[in-house]
Amino acid sequence: MAEERTLALVKPDAAEHTRGFIENAKEYGFYIVGQKVVWFTPSDAGIFYLEHKTKSFYTTLCLHMASGPVTAMVLEHPLGETIKRWRMRIADTDPNNAADGTLRHRFGGGRKELHRNVVHGSANPKDAEREIALLFTGLELA
């Protein structure tokens, strides 16, 4: 088992690009140690994004996350720093500011609504642990 894992979510607005996210993760050396499709309710999304509850976009984000399928993946990288490496692949939260070649640029460029930023990556090890535990049991992970 790697030292660090991260949770990656392909959000509903990018569901048709799930294969591209998976291929990109593998191409950049990530191991997918858990994967499934989930359907959030607005309440589920509210629990997942609880740290944003006081922000103006919270309700819109929760409704968006409940609008379609979400592909959840637990990632590891053999060289470590999994969270940092994945966040570099996905780029800036605003797809319109994402660097060329990143996942948010490739699959989310030109979006006007910030909550429709195609992908999620855990911000830090504590968040990764909490988020993974919300969506996966230990038996579902390699």
Catalytic machinery residues: 120
Q: How far is CA 49 from the centre of its chain?
A: 12
For residue 4, give every residue at least 6 positions away whose Cβ sits within 8 Å of its Cβ, in sequence order, or none.
76, 77, 80, 81, 82, 83, 125, 128
Structure tokens, 62: 């929760």
- Asked whether the beta carbons of 30 and 86 are under 8 A apart, the reply is yes
- Asked whether the beta carbons of 93 and 48 are under 8 A apart, the reply is no
d(CA 33, CA 42): 27
